[in-house]
């Protein structure tokens, strides 16, 4: 028995509710513009955590110039990789974890997909927990106090809002960002101007040299340089699959690149600049203290940040769950993900030490993304010339042309994870690899994971089974449209 994957979507064409699940988005439902995509990704990255990460270079002993240089160079590459993954969704209309079946097989893709199911729930809790103290501080500047009860109220309100938006689906996310982000941008402009009027920026002050400086630069690169863009790769296609078929690959690439690059660089630079003149204190807290009468705008930015980030994360977590072949409505999975995140958030509020330990675990888990990205991008753009048979992605595992479990993909992922871990310099002993230690703390985990994963996959896959020859076509060319029938 067969069905058209777009039939359900076409029946709800006039509804804003997203009932698609993981089925390919039909052309009639692909209405997202370049500006929509820009606002979605700008909103996801216009988050207070980037203020804090931007200050990391200053706390590690780098000068402001060195910090900004590392962040800019890293994000040029990281955001380019993100743009490439975004093109995959635009061309196929398929979510990112379903596209993983190309390289890993029909059920082999369950391994990276399971990681994508588990991680978002933790990140949602962490992203919300990070801003609670700052939100309470902003309210206190406005004369509103309430202690731990106020934290719980803010936490529940934020969680309810972000789960509701994510459960409703892509269109709700699109409209939320479309109508809130212009105002947030204007507030951030005002906050940036005020910050630079009130602080004494130290451009060249540094406290480290030699290997220690290289180690600090590499760790900053992993945290918010290229590492920041890489951490978003698993979400990219989930949103660009809704882009208009009339757009070119170059337009999608450029829009998503800028949507990621501009806010990340902007907030990281702001955080680093404030930290350079504030004796290394938390830049977000310094902003609240410095703005005085701007406490309300600061509060709006603080609360908007986790919501804008988490609605993207929760929605993608639901899609990843459905990619495990679970037969559940997408909105149900979104609600469950939010409830699990709320439990974690409650535990964080009970124990800050547990929260920091959990955050370290989450950072360690990200080590799989760089080899996964190297494999996925190499498979799609190099072996397949930037095209895929969409219908085959949904074939039953017994006769999927990509295999049930594609051994080269699985071996390459394992080799890439080992390579990334060996070059990782985490904050806990288990995440400090032997190569990173031998290099004096220089962290090249993202580079090792991506290169080893991608290169080993190309070698193993070509030896295992000849694939399509590398296409000479422009990987950012006009996308093909698909009208497929899924078994």
Q: Are 483 and 405 in contact (CB under 8 A)?
A: no
Q: What does the alpha-carbon distance between residue 474 and residue 261 come to, in Å, rounded to a whole number?
A: 23
pLDDT band at 137 (very low <50, low <70, confident <90, very high): confident
pLDDT band at 465 (very low <50, low <70, confident <90, very high): low
Identify the CA nearest to 281 among candidates 291, 271, 292, 295. Answer: 271
pLDDT band at 256 (very low <50, low <70, confident <90, very high): very high
pLDDT band at 5 (very low <50, low <70, confident <90, very high): very low
**Residue 64: partners with Cβ closer than 8 Å, 6 or more residues away:** 57, 58, 201, 202, 203, 204, 205, 272, 273, 276
Bigger pLDDT: 486 vs 439 = 439
- In this predicted structure, what is the pLDDT of residue 477? 40
Average pLDDT over residues 440-454: 94
Q: Is the pLDDT of residue 305 over 80?
A: yes
Average pLDDT over residues 100-119: 94
Q: Is the pLDDT of residue 90 over 90?
A: yes
Average pLDDT over residues 240-262: 97
Bigger pLDDT: 478 vs 90 = 90
Main-chain dihedrals φ then ψ at residue 486, nearest 5 degrees:
-105, 135
Q: What does the alpha-carbon distance between residue 214 and residue 222 come to, in Å, rounded to a whole number?
A: 12
Q: Is the pLDDT of residue 409 over 90?
A: yes
Average pLDDT over residues 352-356: 72
Average pLDDT over residues 265-279: 84
Q: Are 212 and 440 in contact (CB under 8 A)?
A: yes
**Domain range summary for the chain, segments of one domain joined by +:** 30-464
* CA dihedral over 358, 362, 364, 365, signed as positive or negative: positive
DSSP notation for 121-137: HHHHHHHHHHHHHHHHH
- pTM, rounded to two decimals: 0.88
- In this predicted structure, what is the pLDDT of residue 236? 96
CATH of the domain spanning 30-464: 1.10.4160.10
Identify the CA nearest to 133 among candidates 121, 120, 150. Answer: 150
Enumerate the β-bridge partners of residue 486.
3
- In this predicted structure, what is the pLDDT of residue 472? 37
Q: Is the pLDDT of residue 385 over 50?
A: yes
Average pLDDT over residues 295-306: 81
pLDDT band at 482 (very low <50, low <70, confident <90, very high): very low
Q: Is the pLDDT of residue 173 over 60?
A: yes
- In this predicted structure, what is the pLDDT of residue 126? 85
Identify the CA nearest to 334 among candidates 470, 127, 106, 163. Answer: 163
Average pLDDT over residues 147-164: 90
- In this predicted structure, what is the pLDDT of residue 480? 42
pLDDT band at 282 (very low <50, low <70, confident <90, very high): low
Q: Is the pLDDT of residue 456 over 50?
A: yes
Q: What does the alpha-carbon distance between residue 159 and residue 226 come to, in Å, rounded to a whole number?
A: 29
Average pLDDT over residues 229-241: 95
Q: What does the alpha-carbon distance between residue 34 and residue 32 come to, in Å, rounded to a whole number?
A: 7
- In this predicted structure, what is the pLDDT of residue 293? 62
Share of the chain above pLDDT 90, in %: 55
Q: What does the alpha-carbon distance between residue 317 and residue 254 come to, in Å, rounded to a whole number?
A: 25
Q: Is the pLDDT of residue 176 over 60?
A: yes
Helices 295-322 and 330-350 cross at an angle (nearest 10°) of 130
Average pLDDT over residues 324-349: 90
């Amino acid at each position: 028995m067969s069905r058209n994957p777009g039939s359900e979507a076409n029946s709800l064409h006039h509804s804003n509710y997203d009932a698609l699940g993981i089925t390919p988005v039909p052309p009639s439902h692909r209405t997202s513009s370049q500006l929509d995509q820009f606002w979605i990704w700008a909103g996801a990255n216009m988050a207070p955590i980037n203020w804090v990460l931007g200050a990391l270079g200053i706390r590690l002993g780098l000068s402001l110039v060195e910090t900004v240089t590392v962040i800019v160079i890293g994000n040029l590459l990281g955001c380019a990789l993100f743009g490439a993954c975004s093109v995959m969704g635009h061309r196929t209309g398929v979510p990112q974890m379903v596209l993983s079946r190309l390289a890993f097989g029909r059920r082999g893709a369950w391994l990276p997909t399971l990681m994508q199911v588990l991680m978002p729930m933790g990140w949602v809790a962490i992203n919300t927990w990070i801003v609670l103290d700052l939100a309470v501080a902003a309210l206190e500047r406005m004369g509103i106090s309430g202690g731990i009860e106020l934290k719980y109220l803010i936490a529940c309100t934020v969680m309810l809002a972000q789960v509701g938006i994510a459960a409703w689906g892509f269109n709700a996310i699109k409209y939320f960002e479309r109508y809130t982000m212009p105002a947030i941008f204007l507030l951030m402009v005002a906050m940036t101007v005020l910050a630079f009027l009130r602080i004494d920026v130290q451009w060249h002050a540094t406290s480290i040299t030699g290997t220690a400086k290289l180690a600090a630069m590499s760790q900053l690169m992993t945290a918010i340089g290229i590492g920041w863009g890489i951490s978003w790769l698993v979400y990219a296609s989930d949103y660009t699959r809704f882009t208009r078929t009339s757009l070119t690959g170059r337009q999608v690439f450029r829009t998503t690149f800028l949507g990621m690059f501009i806010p990340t660089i902007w907030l990281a630079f702001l955080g680093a600049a404030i930290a350079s003149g504030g004796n290394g204190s938390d830049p977000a807290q310094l902003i609240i203290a410095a703005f005085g009468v701007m406490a309300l705008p600061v509060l709006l930015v603080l609360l908007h940040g986790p919501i804008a980030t988490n609605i993207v994360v929760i929605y993608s977590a639901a899609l990843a769950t459905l990619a495990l072949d679970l037969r559940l409505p997408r909105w149900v999975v979104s609600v469950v993900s939010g409830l699990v995140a709320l439990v974690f958030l409650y535990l964080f509020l009970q124990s800050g030490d547990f929260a920091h330990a959990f955050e370290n675990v989450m950072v360690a888990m990200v080590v799989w993304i760089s080899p996964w990205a190297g494999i996925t991008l190499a498979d799609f753009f190099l072996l397949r010339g930037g095209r895929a048979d969409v219908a085959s992605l949904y074939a039953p595992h017994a006769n999927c042309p990509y295999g049930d479990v594609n051994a080269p993909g699985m071996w390459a992922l394992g080799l890439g994870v080992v390579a990334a871990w060996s070059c990782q310099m985490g904050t806990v002993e288990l995440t400090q690899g032997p190569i990173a230690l031998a290099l004096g703390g220089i962290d090249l985990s993202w580079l090792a994971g991506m290169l080893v994963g991608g290169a080993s996959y190309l070698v193993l896959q070509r030896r295992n089974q000849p694939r399509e020859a590398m296409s000479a076509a422009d990987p950012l060319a006009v996308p093909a449209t698909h009208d497929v029938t899924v078994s």
